[in-house]
Structure 1
Amino acid sequence: MISDSPKKTLDEIKKLTDDSDVGLVLVSDDMTESISDELTELRAEKSTLVFALPSAGSEKSEVDYRLMLKKILGV
């Protein structure tokens, strides 16, 4: 699917994670920057893996998995 805004991307991800036939959702990281908190909440609720891939030509960025886990656990 192609989405032109982070809000639409989040809506599409929510639809996909509600589908029991979907186990993995790959998203360009330039669409996930502004919706990262919502994605973290979604990851805590759903079993579908939502993974942000680097967009073409983007720089490598560090992912703080410890912080993400704390958000998921509510610590």
Structure 2
Amino acid sequence: MAVSVDLAKALDKAYEDKTLEEILDAPVDALAGLTPKHAEALQELLGITSIRDLGSNKYFATAGVLVALANRAG
């Protein structure tokens, strides 16, 4: 089954036409709204250097699951 997702508003312009693998390997400031300063802080505090790292970080993953559960229950 083919899946199509429009990420234009979620990514900086430079990453809008990249493959999923390229996006996952991109620095976190490739996400719209995050700056190089945010990326630096995430790297220093949690060792996160890419969107893949951010998405698979246990703290962010747990928070995402908790929010999804709360949204489903409410």
Considering the TM-score relative to the shorter chain, is it more than 0.5? no
Q: TM-score by structure 1 length?
A: 0.29
Pick the structure with more strand per residue.
Answer: 1
Pick the structure with more helix per residue.
Answer: 2
Q: TM-score by structure 2 length?
A: 0.29
Structure possessing the higher radius of gyration over alpha carbons: 2
- Bigger RCO (CA 8 Å, 6+ sep): 1
